[in-house]
């Protein structure tokens, strides 16, 4: 995902067509908070799991696992905290343009999903189904944000971080689908490298183990505001 967004930065800067530069810049602006916050939050999860895998030994310096965790922890802070990135995402990147950039991103995801669903095998079946659900969820959440942001910004803001996570997970599924399709093309061309079927299986795993969070996050975004704001400030 970071590479795709970085490539879009280059295109937005260098492409000879002004309209294409504008389109790519809108994509970059939308995705920068996701790259900064979702990837770094995921890095924290991965390094935390690394400590857990080592057990008690992971908590001391001998294995090096604890150092990785500490190094990852700052990344969710020094580019702007995850909460700040999420508020930027829902406000300046989604609500301000009426969801136009988000709709353009969804259209790209749909094109990949249409190709994935035509591929044989259980891996592509699972991946295409998860991506379809993710596209629907991002659309629902984006519509909610655009529709309610001006009327009740606090309620929408409650779901800012969940929305960032949702968009990150679904965008990750989009990337995994692209990678799986590229791997399948290599296999179809006769390439016997075991890396390619492993890449397809990795995408299947992502669909089954990561994209399952989509439904809960969508509910949190759309319905979670009232309960979060029900407590008076004095209670804190």
Q: pTM of whole model > 0.85?
A: yes
Three-state secondary structure call for residue 1: coil
- Which conformational region is residue 55 in: left (phi greater than 0), alpha (psi within -120 to 50 degrees), or beta? left
pLDDT category of residue 61 using cuts at 50, 70 and 90: confident
**Torsions phi, psi for 131 (to 5 deg):** -65, -40
Q: Residue 57: its pLDDT value, please?
A: 82
Tens digits of residue pLDDT in 202-222: 999 999 999 999 999 999 999
Contact 221, 141 (CB under 8 A): yes
Does residue 79 carry a catalytic annotation? yes
Domain ranges for the chain: 2-76, 98-235
Q: Residue 62: its pLDDT value, please?
A: 80
Q: Residue 119: its pLDDT value, please?
A: 96
Which residue carries 């908070």 as its tokens? Answer: 33
**Torsions phi, psi for 146 (to 5 deg):** -65, -40
Tens digits of residue pLDDT in 99-112: 999 999 999 999 99
Alpha helices by DSSP H, listed for the chain, are 2-14, 18-33, 39-54, 65-73, 82-88, 100-116, 122-148, 153-158, 160-188, 195-209, 214-223, 225-229
Contact 36, 5 (CB under 8 A): no
Tens digits of residue pLDDT in 148-184: 999 999 999 999 999 999 999 999 999 999 999 999 9
Q: Choose the catalytic residue: 79, 111, 122, 220.
A: 79
Q: Residue 41: its pLDDT value, please?
A: 97
Q: Average pLDDT for residues 115-127, to the nearest whole number?
A: 97
- Which conformational region is residue 121 in: left (phi greater than 0), alpha (psi within -120 to 50 degrees), or beta? left
């Amino acid at each position: 995902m970071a590479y795709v967004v970085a490539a879009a930065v280059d295109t937005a800067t260098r492409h000879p067509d002004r309209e294409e530069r504008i389109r790519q810049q809108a994509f970059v602006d939308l995705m920068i908070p996701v790259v900064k916050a979702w990837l770094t939050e995921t890095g924290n999860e991965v390094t935390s799991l690394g400590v857990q895998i080592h057990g008690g030994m992971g908590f001391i310096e001998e294995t090096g696992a604890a150092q990785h965790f500490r190094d990852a922890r700052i990344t969710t802070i020094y580019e702007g905290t995850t909460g700040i990135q999420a508020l930027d995402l829902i406000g300046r990147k989604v609500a301000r343009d009426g969801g136009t950039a988000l709709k353009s991103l969804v259209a790209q995801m749909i094109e990949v999903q249409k190709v994935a669903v035509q591929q044989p095998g259980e891996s592509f079946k699972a991946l295409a189904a998860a991506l379809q659900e993710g596209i629907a969820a991002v659309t629902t959440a984006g519509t909610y944000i655009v529709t309610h942001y001006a009327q009740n910004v606090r309620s929408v803001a409650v779901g800012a971080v969940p929305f960032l996570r949702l968009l990150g997970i679904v965008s990750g599924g989009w990337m995994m689908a692209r990678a799986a399709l590229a791997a399948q093309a290599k296999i179809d061309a006769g390439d016997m490298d075991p890396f390619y079927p492993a890449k397809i299986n990795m995408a299947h795993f992502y669909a089954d183990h990561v994209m399952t969070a989509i439904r809960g996050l969508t509910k949190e975004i759309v319905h979670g505001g009232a309960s979060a704001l029900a407590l008076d400030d004095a209670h804190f």
